[in-house]
Amino acid sequence: MRKWIRPGVRWAGVPTLLAMMSWSAPAWAAGETYAIDNVHSDVIFRASHLGVSHAFGRFNDISGEIQVDTDDPAEMSISVQIKSASLDTNSDDRDKHLRGPDFFDAKQFPLIQFQSTAVKSKGGNKLEMTGDLTLHGVTKPVTVEVEKIGAGKDPWGGYRAGWVSEFTIKRSDFGMKFMLEGLGDEVEIIVALEGVRE
């Protein structure tokens, strides 16, 4: 079975997300800033549950900005902040546990952050992005593939653009080691960002 999170592998929920962010539009101009639209952006994750199924969740409070420069893809940068207390798995009891000290410890570590540090083009609409991910108070470098989905005018007179990335992290790398034997170490993540040009 192919690894779910590998680049190019489709996930059942992604087409719906991408359809909401896709337009036919001209290329971006150099030196533009996009503010992340929380309503139309998603951070979704899944992890093993007792080795028999997967548990899914999301974060509901996402902010940040994206700098783009079509003349030089290496000048693109992404800064994302996620409130860990906005975790949502559709279960109040489970959410309370996940926000507590055994997992995210949202009171002590209220923000999950990503700041890109290097970008290079992989051709077409794809980029390879390296950045610092801060989770549970631990900062680690990660390298992910980012795909530009589209850009164009919206019905309200603004201009929007969308990107998506799929990757896997090990939660133990970030000090989250509770129930590794039952819930697994690897967490698979989809980040779909829609930005409004400022």
Q: What is the structure's pLDDT at 31?
A: 87
The parent domain of residue 134 ranges over 15-197
Query: Within a domain: residue 83?
Result: yes
pLDDT of 13 strictly over 60: no
Average the pLDDT over each of 9-23, 46-60, 114-128 and give the range with the smallest value: 9-23
Q: Which residue type is seen at 67?
A: Q
Query: Within a domain: residue 7?
Result: no
- The DSSP result for 20-36, as a single string, is HH----PPPPSSEEEEE
State the CATH number of the domain containing residue 177.
Answer: 2.40.128.110
Q: Mean pLDDT for the chain?
A: 87
Query: Within a domain: residue 6?
Result: no
Q: What is the structure's pLDDT at 150?
A: 94
pLDDT of 44 strictly over 60: yes
- How many other C-beta atoms are found inside a 10 Å radius of the C-beta of residue 88? 15
Q: What is the structure's pLDDT at 131?
A: 98
Query: Within a domain: residue 42?
Result: yes
Among residues of the chain, what percentage have pLDDT more than 90?
79
Quote the radius of gyration of the chain (alpha carbons, Å).
Answer: 17
pTM: 0.82
Please answer whether residues 166 and 189 qualify as being in contact, where contact means their C-beta atoms are separated by less than 8 angstroms: yes
pLDDT of 172 strictly over 70: yes
Query: Within a domain: residue 2?
Result: no
Among residues of the chain, what percentage have pLDDT more than 70?
85
Query: Within a domain: residue 3?
Result: no
Q: What is the mean pLDDT of residues 132-138?
A: 98
In the chain, the number of structural domains is: 1
For residue 174, name the pLDDT band (cuts at 50, 70, 90).
Answer: very high
Q: What is the chain's percent helix, strand, coil content, to nearest 5?
A: 15, 50, 35
Tokens, residue 56:
């899914």
Query: Within a domain: residue 4?
Result: no
For residue 115, name the pLDDT band (cuts at 50, 70, 90).
Answer: very high
Q: What is the mean pLDDT of residues 171-179?
A: 96
Query: Within a domain: residue 8?
Result: no
